[in-house]
Amino acid sequence: MKEKLEQIRAAVESALKNADAMEALEDIRIKYMGKKGELTAVLKGMGKLSPDERPKIGALANEIRQKLEREIDERKTAIAAAIEAKKLEDEVIDVTMPGRKNDEGKLHPLTQVMNELKEIFMGMGFSVADGPEVEYDYYNFEALNIPKNHPARDTQDTFYIADNIVLRTQTSGMQVRVMEKTKPPIRIIAPGKVYRSDTQDATHSPVFHQIEGLVVDKNITMADLKGMLEMFVKKLYGEETRVRFRPHHFPFTEPSAEMDYSCFNCGGKGCGVCKGEGWIEILGCGMVHPKVLANCGIDPEEYTGFAFGIGLERIAMGKYSINDLRLFFENDLRFLEQF
């Protein structure tokens, strides 16, 4: 009996040495001291011993049991501490590591310029009208006094979707859409994409942006047009900026003009930006043609109006000294990040 106990003690001690996880310790405890454990079996068999053996063996068995329990407890505590220490080590934060940079999105340069122009016009009492890019021939051409076979159609190489449906070549069609629905006084801008079947190069793109403007009321004159557009340019490029109007022709305005402004770079002396001219073209404009007013159900005897069309890309190119239009549409981050 005594030998059996010593064997158990030796077996447990060697098993404990190799146990390095909580589960292994628990297995050892169950194997020797569980209900059906080996040490438990010895203790249960004590009744069969002679009365003088019983106390000695009993004492030894108890001593072994207590010792094993204590050792298992100690080992459990040690393992728990080791697990905790490992966890802390794994979770350690090195506060000297460099931070991770979050790249912030930005507005596209064209959107930024568009927003700036909208702000200026809204500040002058204009509201913003929105319309379709896939447009009826009627709005894009016909109602704007550009009938079929009119030479002006050749200057705007058109993407046709169907016989009478186009990708709008200009935002001017919005004049008609607005006038059909609204009674004067009218004061709107209509910004958006337009399409022309141009081969792309540094100054041409099959898609670009325009902002259309329209003012219709009683007694609107060319003087209103000139005053308003001059004020717009001064807000955009600064108070010292001057403007000039050159006669031009558009089918939907009469008279028509193109407006130039004194070069923002050289102030009019002539430089690389304005190609030595001192002036840069910014928009087309004119008094709304009486036929166009009539097409929209507005009596040209009672009302007059002016209209203008601004190319957005050209303004953005001037503003940021960009010499290739394609950069706006390639979405190269190295370009976009600069704005």
145/253 with CB nearer ligand DAH: 253
173 contributes a contact to ligand DAH by CB under 6 A:
no
Per CB under 6 A, contacts with ligand DAH among 152-171 are: 170
Give the length of the chain.
Answer: 339
Alpha-carbon dihedral 41, 42, 47, 52, rounded to 10 degrees: -170
**Cα(212)–Cα(207) distance, rounded to whole angstroms?**
16
> In the bound complex, what is the minimum distance in angstroms from residue 241's beta carbon to ligand DAH?
20
Question: Does 195 engage in binding with ligand DAH (CB under 6 A)?
Answer: no
Write out the E strands in the chain: 127-128, 134-136, 160-162, 165-167, 186-195, 207-217, 243-250, 253-262, 279-288, 304-311
Which residues face 280 on adjacent strands?
261
User: Is-contact 179 190, C-beta < 8 A?
Assistant: no
The binder of ligand DAH chosen from 140, 145, 205, 253 (CB under 6 A):
253
Kindly indicate which of the ranges 72-80, 222-230, 235-243, 284-292 contains the residues binding ligand DAH, using the contact rule CB under 6 A.
284-292
At a CB cut-off of 8 Å and minimum separation 6, what does 167 contact? 133, 134, 135, 158, 159, 161, 194, 195
Is residue 308 a contact point for ligand DAH (CB under 6 A)? yes
Of 7-15, 84-92, 113-121, 301-309: span binding ligand DAH (CB under 6 A)? 301-309
- The answer to whether the CB of 251 falls within 8 A of the CB of 295 is no
* Contact of 237 with 264, CB cutoff 8 Å: yes
Q: Would you say 19 or 194 has its CB closer to ligand DAH? A: 194
Amino acid at 285: C
| Contact pattern for ligand DAH over residues 196 through 225, marking x by CB under 6 A | ----------------x-------------
Q: Which of 285, 298, 315, 317 binds ligand DAH (CB under 6 A)?
A: 285
Q: Does residue 250 belong to the site contacting ligand DAH (CB under 6 A)? A: yes
Residues in 49-88 at the binding interface with ligand DAH, rule: CB under 6 A: none
CA distance linking residue 18 with residue 59, whole number of Å: 28
Q: Which helix (H) or strand (E) holds 75?
A: helix 53-90
Q: Which two tokens stand for residue 215?
A: 């003012």
CB of 251 to ligand DAH, least distance (A): 9
- 39-47, 64-72, 227-235, 282-290 -> range binding ligand DAH (CB under 6 A): 282-290
Report in angstroms how near the CB of residue 266 gets to ligand DAH at its nearest: 26
Q: Does 172 bind ligand DAH (CB under 6 A)?
A: yes
Point out which span in 15-23, 91-99, 306-314, 330-338 binds ligand DAH (CB under 6 A).
Answer: 306-314
Q: Which residue is nearest to ligand DAH (CB)?
A: 309
- Interface contacts to ligand DAH, rule CB under 6 A: 170, 172, 212, 250, 253, 284-286, 307-309
